Structures are given as C-alpha cells and as structure tokens.
A and B are shown apart, each in its own frame.
Chain A
Amino acid sequence: DAKTTQPTSMDCAEGRAANLPCNHSTISGNEYVYWYRQIHSQGPQYIIHGLKNNETNEMASLIITEDRKSSTLILPHATLRDTAVYYCIVRDAGGYQKVTFGTGTKLQVIP
C-alpha cells in the first residue's frame, strides 16, 4: 500500500468547515483513498472512501486531486464531537487486507 503524509494536528472552530489534507504521491491506479477517524478510547470509525471522483456522504466530503496525489477530507460544519484523530489510508481494493494506519491528524474542534 502507498504511504500517506498528514499534518500532525489541526484546530477548527466549531461550526466552521474542517479541511484535512493528505498526501499520497505514490498512489497507484487501483488504490482507493479511505478515511477513518478515532475518537478517544474508541475503535476507529470508517468515514468515506474514493478512487478518483469526489465523494460525499452524510458524514463528510472527499476531494481527490486530478493526479490523485493528494486528497482533502471536508467536515462541513465541525462540532465538538468531531474532535478525533483522522487517518488517511490508501489501499488496493482488490488485493487486500493489509490495512496500515499512518500517524493521522489530531483534529481539535474549538468552541
């Protein structure tokens, strides 16, 4: 699986959009971008994934650049409950199950 690079930490004001970047410059054509988050002392939670098109669900939006070398997770209206560590992972969807977590971004939502 390709490696990802994320900022160590970010702050976001409550009610504002949180934009979390991820670099994955070595991503290959059959690798998807996944985002998970882990709220303190809980198991990681799947948020969203995409291949090359932008994706949106009830939790977030995922913007993938045209060259696929980076992506941004957008939480449109951050709440205090969104304070968590956010992990960006790239993974060969057909191949496999070796899902490796990087160091992630600690997002602190501030009142």
Chain B
Amino acid sequence: DTEVTQTPKHLVMGMTNKKSLKCEQHMGHRAMYWYKQKAKKPPELMFVYSYEKLSINESVPSRFSPECPNSSLLNLHLHALQPEDSALYLCASSQVPSGTVTNTGELFFGEGSRLTVL
C-alpha cells in the first residue's frame, strides 16, 4: 500500500465552524507533513511530525491545530478560519531521512482536501 489517503476531499465551512481534515498512511512512515497550496502557487509547508512529535511549525496561525494520534494518522483541526484560508491542504508522509542512499526521505502525497471558507 503506497497510498496517502485524505478525507474529506472537499470541505465548505463557515468562519465560526470547527472542522478537521484527516490523513492516513500505512507505509510505516514515521514523518508526516501538512502543506497548504493556493491556486497557481507551490505547496507551502505548514507542519512536520517526526515519530508522532511536532518537529516543525512554520509559524502557522493557531486557528490551525495539528495532531498526530499515532504513526498512521495525522489530523488538522480547523477553527475560526478566514476566507483567505481557502486552499488545497495536502498531507504527505516519508521515512525519516537517514542520509543513506536507500533512504533519503522522498515524500508521498495524498490528493488533498480542498477547503472553502465562507
């Protein structure tokens, strides 16, 4: 199984709603990522988890709250979002890079969750 599965594929929410995006992988990867992508722009890194612990937070506003409950799951909790937060949210996973030729941590991406904030 080489898939990263993201749900839901589409989400519409109001600015006062609380919702969550979910990501799941069964490749045994211990690094998981959230990216945000606006239209016609490259993906922007938001968060990185390594061994279920938050290792990188790219100064993301607190209205985005990541959670990694176990090695296969990654959530992104959304609360009090703004219309400018509307975007494609991408989840990825990888082996934790070890610097060897056979493990250099290439990322496997899901298809994304398209979020619209009204």
Contacts and interface: CB of A to CB of B under 8 A. Distances in A.
B2 to A, nearest CB: 10
Interface in B69-118: 88, 90, 92, 94, 96-101, 104-112
B93 to A, nearest CB: 11
Contacts of B27: none
Contacts, number: 67
A43 B106 contact: no
Q: Report the contact-size class of chain B (Cβ under 8 Å from the partner).
A: 20 to 34
B99 A46 contact: no
18 contacts: A32-B104, A34-B104, A34-B106, A43-B110, A44-B90, A44-B109, A46-B107, A49-B106, A91-B104, A94-B97, A94-B99, A95-B97, A97-B50, A97-B55, A97-B97, A99-B33, A99-B45, A104-B42
Interface of B: 4, 31, 33, 42-45, 48, 50, 55-56, 88, 90, 92, 94, 96-101, 104-112
